[in-house]
Structure 1
């Protein structure tokens, strides 16, 4: 429901999806040092995964060299389990990129995913030794994610219907000149929107019309700074119109399966940046309430992703632990201005959200759809 942000040209990512770290490299020109540098692995339609010599277990770096004429993605997989131990994306023709991995004893192979070509698996290599394997994740397929996307879309549609009812009530308050009622109804409507998890332009142009420069925020400012009903009427009317426009547009929108994993982290990232700092407060003093609604949105996404995450992410219980900790802190301080929190509470809250974000960081990598056949 957002326009995907394009990856920068030729980004190389080694996905360590089972722990809270994702390392990023950019491809570089050149080749491995022939006198003992990293093994140079060929990436092409005719020679996928060639060049792995002196195979051994442990920490090691490969140089992936695309000798073909099309961009490629390269995975290092365990033969038999299909676990992905390393990944490089956007490797352009005649470019190279390093892949750093930790491998235990077992059989491995490079898989080349080249544009307009079925996946190609190179020769398998057997490693021996006592070293333990590093993080890995079983590849998630589009078939794994599509039912979850449908659940998410249904949840969003239900949430937008509730939002429409609440913004209609808010509009009626303002149109009728009852600003006390409007102040009482503003927060439930605003929380209904923020619990949808509308992070990073999830709703396109509707996001600004509802909760950006237009919509809820100028309405909040006017309601808590003595604006007249006449001045607020066009804002409330525009807000309601935008919500109904979003509702009408939803059936025509499609969620990219990869966006669902991103959403889990980005919702709370937004909360940290805009709500826990008080930046978004326009007078109501309710940014901590909004952060709690953002946490609800995160929890909804995680619940939907649970079938994919549970068998792939050992730290998922830690996500639940820190989610509960953040929820307890935000619940205890609802309706409190951020600036009125004492230093100890602010440190506890910021620390808990930071830990939660760290545990959420691998979710996008784990849930990324990968071609394997």
Structure 2
């Protein structure tokens, strides 16, 4: 029995398995989600236009017929005539043909001039080109903002639409680099503390192997590995250290003959495939050296604030691709423990981003509920430091894990979009 949605008093709706599966196929392994993938959780992406709406709170009927869009209305994009061509509109779907008549590329936002909230955006509109923006507008005031490359932003005339404001599509006030810097500093400090814990845990693992106590080494391996797995949003800043500590390595079936196989997974393979302590001392020593080097070098590293929202989404995305497929199981059978640690890492970053998300992401309570549900599901497969291996899950349990993580991944996609740092001036 799943925990109910604390925000609604009832259990969260079941995820759309089709859209979740399509999204996972669209995401490149270990890389930034494609625009097509983000479109499954964001309001829409206009084909070929690079236009997207910000996070939607949902609530519409899935079988409702879409209203016909009005337009296209040609709108000029230039420092001297930003927004020229649009002077009135009725509520409902709109299509704008944005025409860049200037000599430089520009970003174009459709905004609420009072709050700065963005309803639609086109990036990289080249000189002499026209692209469409599709939005849904209710009653209210709107203005185009043109942000030319290497020049100040220009806001066009305000257009007022009569009617109820509830008819508008999703919008959010832009997050800027300045907004994200305090988040990056706090997260950097949190990672610094984790590198110390990681070093201590890895040293315990190494000592057990050095002493020839492989039973103790197997007990020490998972706690050390999970510390690293909770640090997922910083992996990109770790550089070569990430590969040395936790590189994916070869396919498990090819690990016995693989060369240059290092890190936690190399030690895992040896511990659960009958290797001697003597054969594992070298891999354990190199792992320890890499961990110590990371701890010592981390104070000089700097996180990119603009990447934090994306990382919040990618941690569980990678979990779905690697841990829930068994791709990274080299014998310990602890993929579900790793997934649980990844969930902890996601929540740590969301805690720091929450002040920016609370007023911008209406579905944040629903995301929280699904993360709670996913945690409850995963916790059901671990007790006393022992975890059910993936290949021992029944079909129903396997589907439940995949479903919960998949829905959480979809609800995290708008976090990446909302926290993508934008220009406002």
> Which residue of structure 1 lines up, in the alignment, with residue 408 of structure 2?
356
Gaps of 5+ in 1: 21-35
Q: How does 1:1-373 map to 2 (within 5 A)?
A: 12-19=50-57, 38-130=72-164, 132-198=167-233, 201-212=236-247, 213=249, 214-334=262-382, 335-373=387-425
Tell me, yes or no, if the aligned pair for 1:18 and 1:137 is still in contact at 8 Å: no
Contact kept in structure 2, 1:15 and 1:365, CA below 8 Å: no
Contact 1:174 1:229 in 2 (8 A): yes
**TM-score normalised by length of structure 1:** 0.89
Deviations 1:161-220 (A, max 9, x none): 111111122122222322222111110010000011247745222111111132011111
Contact 2:141 2:158 in 1 (8 A): yes
Between the aligned partners of 1:241 and 1:67, the Cα distance in structure 2 is 58
Q: Given the two structures, how large is their TM-score scaled by the length of structure 2? A: 0.79
Give the conservation status (yes or no) of the 8 Å contact 1:106–1:127: yes
3-state SS of 1:39 partner: strand
- Distance in 2, Cα, partners of 1:323 & 1:165: 29
CA apart distance, 1:356: 1.2
Q: Residues 114 and 310 from structure 1, CA distance in 2 versus in 1: closer, same or farther, beyond 3 angstroms?
A: same
Q: Distance in 1 between matches of 2:34 and 2:153?
A: 21
Structure 1 residues 120, 274: CA separation in 2 closer, same or farther (over 3 Å shift)? same
- Report the alpha carbon displacement of residue 4 of structure 1 after superposing the two structures with TM: 9.6
CA contact (8 A) 2:309 2:419 kept: yes
Query: In the aligned structure 2, how far is the partner of 1:176 from the partner of 1:205?
Result: 29
Question: In 1, Cα distance between the equivalents of 2:98 and 2:352?
Answer: 36
Q: How many residues align?
A: 356
Q: Which residue is equivalent to 2:23?
A: none
Q: Residues 200 and 266 of structure 1 are in contact (CA less than 8 Å); yes or no, is this contact kept in structure 2?
A: no
Superposition CA RMSD, Å: 2.4
Partners of 2:177 and 2:305 within 8 A in 1: yes
Indicate conservation of the 8 Å contact 1:110/1:123, yes or no: yes
Q: Can you give the 5+ residue segments of structure 2 that lack an aligned partner in the other structure?
A: 1-29, 36-47, 59-69, 250-261
Moved over 4 A (4+): 3-8
